[in-house]
Amino acid sequence: MNTLRDKAWVWGYVLSDSGRPFLNDKPWDVPFVGSSKCSLETAAGYLGIPNVVSMNNQDTSITPDYLKHVTGCKQVIWGLDHADYLKSAKILSPISKDYPNIVGGLIDDFIDCHGPSKSMKPEDTQAVYEALKKDNPALKLYTVQYTWQDVNEMIPHLPYIDVINLWVWVGNTHEWQVKMDYGIEQYKAKTGKPILLGLFLHDYGGTDQAMAMDILELQFKQAVKYAKNGLIDGFVILQSGWFDQENHRPQVMWVKEYLNWAFGTYSIR
């Protein structure tokens, strides 16, 4: 990967031709958003971003009908099913041999005190890691972590994690402008793992509204800076369901304009 664009990802849900997000029978119902008609690959195309993180993570989701929607994406990370990470990894591994753009599986909210993986032990992570790579050793295991979590809890799991997807849960100027530069360097030093930095369009951890424009702009500018200097391996934008929401239009349009400028004026050599 030799351009800034190659380091960008969009997170979200693929919608089937009937509007169902391969999760339930309610048309156009996107988890954590509500009604949306913006599918994951549509959002990625709108921003000109080649890579996606698909959270259609039930076992019944990863079918030819689903996969045809992301065939044109350069890289696909598939969210492993919260109901059974191990089973999900076992399903993904052989399928990925037929779809070479699938590059890994992701455990969301990893050992988060509120998440489904909160009770995972290192041997559980190892089992998922080995199952994911059984048929395709090139696959990577990604895990979601938040800056508020104690990084020391990760250490026993690190031999079985390839990339850490790091997020700031409560967006604020101090976190992004003061703490982040030093924080990411320390996080990388402590874990020894590449970082995929998460960027929110919606302020889930604070107002539960569209992200305030000053924080939105700050987090994207920081992420682009870190990607340019090699501090992070890339950044991922959450999520596609917000792209067609009128109350998030200023945020989405600003991101498009900013990334168009950033992608168009810089090449990583």
Q: Is the backbone peptide bond immediately before 239 cis, with ω within 30 degrees of 0?
A: yes
User: So what's the architecture of 5-264 in CATH?
Assistant: Alpha-Beta Barrel (3.20)
Question: CA-CA-CA-CA torsion for 18, 21, 25, 30, nearest 10 degrees?
Answer: -120
Both tokens of 179, joined, read 């703490």
DSSP 8-state symbol, 80:
P
Which residue in 138, 188, 179, 198 sits closest to 158, CA to CA?
Answer: 188
Domain residue ranges in the chain: 5-264
CA distance 90 to 254: 40
Alpha-carbon gap, residue 230 to 244, rounded angstroms: 32
Q: Identify the pLDDT of residue 62.
A: 75
User: Parallel, antiparallel, or unpaired: how do β-strands 29-30 and 34-35 relate?
Assistant: antiparallel
Distance of alpha carbon 215 from the chain centroid: 19
CB-CB contact of 56 with 22 (8 Å): yes
Joined together, the tokens standing for residue 155 give: 């250490």
Q: What is the mean pLDDT of residues 159-167?
A: 97
According to the per-residue pLDDT averaged within each range, which of 47-61, 167-181, 204-218 is highest? 204-218
| Per-residue pLDDT tens over the stretch 176-231 | 988 898 889 889 999 999 999 999 999 999 999 999 999 999 999 999 999 999 99
Give the Cα separation of 140 and 102 in Å (integer): 10
Neighbours of 72 (CB within 10 A): 12
What letter represents residue 180's amino acid?
Answer: M
Tell me the mean pLDDT in the region 22-37: 78
162 compared with 18, residue with greater pLDDT: 162
